[in-house]
Structure 1
Amino acid sequence: MSTTTESARPAKAGPVPSPGRRTRTLLLVALTFGAGVIDIIGFLGMHQVFTANMTGNIVLFGLAAGEANGADLARCGVATLAFALGLLLGFRMAGRGDPSRLWPPGVTRALAADLVLQVLFLVGWAATGARPEAATLLVLIALSSAAMGVQTAAARTLAADGITTTFVTGTLTSMMGSLSIGSSASAGVRTAVIGGLTAGAAAGGVLMGPAPVLAAAIGPVIVVIVIAVAFTLHRKPASPLG
């Protein structure tokens, strides 16, 4: 056939994902939804601090430094440091991952630590009537940020289609880069992740006024569900056809 005919053929989207891979993707999108809620809690309920998205947080830190705003510096600094420590803890608990497994058990262990941190945050958040101040505010920022750091490390260990669950800049970049060369592989997954974070932020915004404690409960509930389902994936192979 001619070159023209060959070029007219649509780009291949790659192998159809197995049910196990689809389940893994749904779990990661669910975690991303929870991260969207958590970031809104930080922004609206803890003096405009991001506890899941460190890019925005570091920008706010720089702004606070430029304005010599000590209170904002403390909040953003605590959030960034706690997130970094959460990453360290998460990577240590998750281990190096196992390319032969769809969902290594170490990732579930890391998510268990994420759950503990989120529950501690929820207890403190409820105890203050969702209006923490002073030292309590900094403690809650640290708990929330550390939880998101652990969750990010767990997702990164999976190396699943570039999903991070707490920020989507890299996901969006990868998706646009693939589409620019005619490849639609993982485009649906990445779109779902971006939509999940957006939907989580929207849900958090709706609940923060009338039910801020309920908003903070969404994250732990999602992690419990993810951990429960993840046990079914521990023995599944990582092959797209497995």
Structure 2
Amino acid sequence: MTASSGLSPAAAPAAAAGARPGAGPLRLRTALLVLLTFGSGTTDIVGFLGMEKVFTANMTGNIVLFGLAAGEGNGADLARCGAATLAFALGLLTGFRIAGRPDPGRVWPPRITAVLAAVLALQTAFLAGWTLADAEPRGGELLVLIALSSTAMGAQTAAARSLSADGITTTFVTGTLTSMMGGFAVGQGGAAGLRTAVILSLGAGAAVAGALMASAPVLAAALSPLVLAAVIAGAFPLHPSRTT
């Protein structure tokens, strides 16, 4: 068996170890995931403050608001929250179909970058519409912008989940916080650093966008596509990286 593979018994473990990704690619992937989460924080604030209290990245909040609107008989809120939730689900479905099954053999498969490129196109369309509406969309244009942003966030969530990176989603952190605390409870805190960084990054993105919304709402909306463009550029060196 050793002869057919061309490796000595001593060299085989070394070859297997050499097939694993180095610390550099994994650190880069971590940084890109943290950046994506920062962008999601800015997106949710733009939606909540600029689109009549709708989340476009956090569907748990939208479903609660949808239920509240149903109880109050508020048709406008029902339409906004319903549009966001349905669009997010569509983004998830499409994103998962493009990304395919998780590939443990790659640090960052090219299909993930393809999904993020589609997300960037959606976010650019949103930014154009947001700018044309002077950051005060109303009526039908508001529903269109909600759908664009929510579809983008759904697809981004699918891309992050398909990386199989410690359950990180980059758009909401309830599951990330749950996984981190669950790991601590059983003495498994290996991914605590990444999970903590993701949680803090979401809050940081929200803080920055919140500070900009009053005086520069177009810039606040531009943050997410700018961050995403940087992530896409940073991901290209990871495409050939394999663990097997």
2:13: which partner in 1?
none
- Any idea what the Cα deviations from partners look like across 1:198-235, whole Å, max 9, x if unmatched? 10111111010000000111111111111111110011
1: CA distance between counterparts of 2:123 and 2:75?
Answer: 27
2: CA distance between counterparts of 1:196 and 1:111?
Answer: 19
Match of 2:198 among 193, 196, 202: 193
2: CA distance between counterparts of 1:194 and 1:232?
Answer: 26
- Any idea what the Cα deviations from partners look like across 1:145-201, whole Å, max 9, x if unmatched? 000001000001001011100000010001001111222201011000000001011
**TM-score normalised by L of structure 1:** 0.91
2:134: which partner in 1?
129
The answer to whether the aligner puts 1:219 opposite 2:232 as a matched pair is no
Would the aligned equivalents of 2:104 and 2:164 in 1 still touch at CA under 8 Å? no
Would the aligned equivalents of 2:95 and 2:155 in 1 still touch at CA under 8 Å? yes
- Any idea what the Cα deviations from partners look like across 1:70-108, whole Å, max 9, x if unmatched? 000000000000000011111111111321011011000
Match of 2:240 among 225, 228, 235: 235
1:157: which partner in 2?
162
Flag the structure with larger Rg: 2
**TM-score normalised by L of structure 2:** 0.90
The answer to whether the aligner puts 1:32 opposite 2:37 as a matched pair is yes
Q: List structure 1 runs of 4+ shifted beyond 4 angstroms.
A: none
AA matched with 1:147: A
- Structure 1 window deviating more from structure 2 (88-97 vs 169-178): it is 88-97
1:184: which partner in 2?
189
Would the aligned equivalents of 1:97 and 1:106 in 2 still touch at CA under 8 Å? no
AA matched with 2:41: G
AA matched with 1:204: A
The answer to whether the aligner puts 1:61 opposite 2:66 as a matched pair is yes
Match of 1:81 among 76, 86, 100: 86
Would the aligned equivalents of 1:64 and 1:70 in 2 still touch at CA under 8 Å? yes
2: CA distance between counterparts of 1:208 and 1:101?
Answer: 38
Say how many residue pairs are matched.
225
The answer to whether the aligner puts 1:20 opposite 2:20 as a matched pair is no
- Any idea what the Cα deviations from partners look like across 1:39-84, whole Å, max 9, x if unmatched? 0001000000000000000000000000000000000000000000
Aligned-CA RMSD value: 1.4
The answer to whether the aligner puts 1:209 opposite 2:214 as a matched pair is yes
Would the aligned equivalents of 2:39 and 2:227 in 1 still touch at CA under 8 Å? yes
- Structure 1 window deviating more from structure 2 (79-88 vs 91-100): it is 91-100
Q: Which runs of 5+ in 2 are unaligned?
A: 1-20
AA matched with 2:107: L
The answer to whether the aligner puts 1:97 opposite 2:98 as a matched pair is no
Would the aligned equivalents of 2:212 and 2:220 in 1 still touch at CA under 8 Å? yes
SS at 1:163 equivalent:
coil
The answer to whether the aligner puts 1:145 opposite 2:137 as a matched pair is no
Identity of aligned residues (%): 67
